Amino acid sequence: MLDIKFVRQNPEIVKENIKKKFQDEKLPLVDEVIELDEKVRAAKNRGDELRKIRNDVSREIGTFMKAGEKDKAEEAKKKVAEIADELGALEKQEEECQAELLKRMMVIPNIIDPSVPIGPDDSHNVEIEKFGEPVVPPYEVPYHTDIMESLAGIDIDSARRTSGNGFYYLKGDIARLHSSILSYARDFMIGKGFTYFIPPFMIHGDVVKGVMSFAEMENMMYKIEGEDLYLIGTSEHSMVGRYIGQLLDKEELPQTLTSYSPCFRKEVGAHGIEERGVYRIHQFEKQEMVVICEPEDSPMWFDKLWQNTVEFFRTLDIPVRTLECCSGDLAGLKVKSLDVEAWSPRQQKYFEVGSCSNLGDAQARRLSIRVRDKEKGNYFPHTLNNTCVAPPRMLIAFLENNLQEDGSVNIPAALRPYMGGQEKLVPKK
């Protein structure tokens, strides 16, 4: 959410930003916001004026009563009552206008970074750099669930009976591999100096509205019936929400956090839940990175975060590339975003395994997270988040890139301590 003062003083910049995001239907919101802001300020100013008059008149009542001037006292009381009626109407008007103002402000997108490439959708995202050599082996690489089934590691049919499409049972070596990757990711991030968290997996509605746009909320979040609770779609939600309404000391920044959680997503409007695969599913687990920092430091942290993901994947012998998200592919709160994509030997192309985002002060503003500064005054910090790893999707890249011709799967050295020293997984049938 933008600062209303910024919108008031720079309406053309805000409109141009909306055009860059190819959301022209939101252009009228800018003028509506400015008009509502004027009404709110006018009502507030008139209200302050009336309160001053009411206080002065109220003092006169006591003076008139002491002097025995009852008629004047009654007239003054009548005036106080009239002021109270007008104040009540003004306060109601101010409250209604403020609610409409906030409703529109929550929809106007954040100002994107000047470095963001301009384009209407993800087909205009820009490749930045490749890490590792993408290899296509001289033998066939099966579909990922076929690899898992050969290792007796997945049961989708049973999950379909218990839960429907978009769910799965992992078992045996694949289940252990899944957990080992998360454990390794945890220790990898702790080694980078991040504090490890396991957060709540459900959050209140005011936190949801603070960390994401309404469109994302509608398409992603599962609501608990009859309660003000939502299942998190990523631990970023509860980790940033942890600071709601807080005033942080400047010395406490940066906050560098890494968190494990299951993630639950409706995936409304997505490319479709897979019946056989584990690429797009309703439930998965993830190791996340979250940073809350000084505004001037957020570009530096943005680069550090995505570099952590690249390094993590390379330690597991998985080639990756980075992709800069274009303006039309950015969610409303994001200033800048970069995807990390892993190489798929089977498909002979890259696919997304993580996303790094700088949200500027949008989440902090929505959640009233501020930093105390005695010299400059209080201000909003910047928030950033990034995926370290999100199996089981990451398992697709892992299995395909480490698959051998005989059907076995090599386990890179970094992961062996978490797999009981195993150097490879061997097919069961």
Please, where are the H alpha helices in 192-331? 205-211, 214-220, 235-241, 298-314
Residue with the two structure tokens 């003000």: 228
Q: What does the alpha-carbon distance between residue 43 and residue 368 come to, in Å, rounded to a whole number?
A: 24
CATH class of residue range 122-425: alpha beta
Instruction: Give whole-number Cα distances, 172 to 105, 150, 155, in Å.
Output: 50, 12, 11
CA-wise closest residue to 168 among 180, 181, 153: 153
Q: Residue 383: phi, psi to the nearest 5?
A: -120, 145
Q: What CATH number has the domain spanning 4-105?
A: 1.10.287.40
Total-model pTM: 0.89
C-alpha span between 124 and 325 (Å, rounded): 8
Q: Where are the alpha helices (DSSP H) in 192-268?
A: 205-211, 214-220, 235-241
pLDDT tens string, the chain, 429 residues long: the values are: 899 999 999 999 999 999 999 999 999 999 999 999 999 999 999 988 888 888 888 888 888 888 888 888 888 888 888 888 888 999 999 999 999 999 999 999 999 999 999 999 999 999 999 999 999 999 999 999 999 999 999 999 999 999 988 899 999 999 999 999 999 999 999 999 999 999 999 999 999 999 987 677 777 889 999 999 999 999 999 999 999 999 999 999 999 999 999 999 987 555 555 557 788 889 999 999 999 999 999 999 999 999 999 999 999 999 999 999 999 999 999 999 999 999 999 999 999 999 999 999 999 999 999 999 988 899 999 999 999 999 888 999 999 999 999 999 999 999 999 999 999 999 986
Rounded Cα–Cα distance for residues 115 and 70 (Å): 72
Enumerate the domain spans of the chain: 4-105, 122-425
Q: Is 265 helix (H, G, I), strand (E, B) or coil?
A: coil
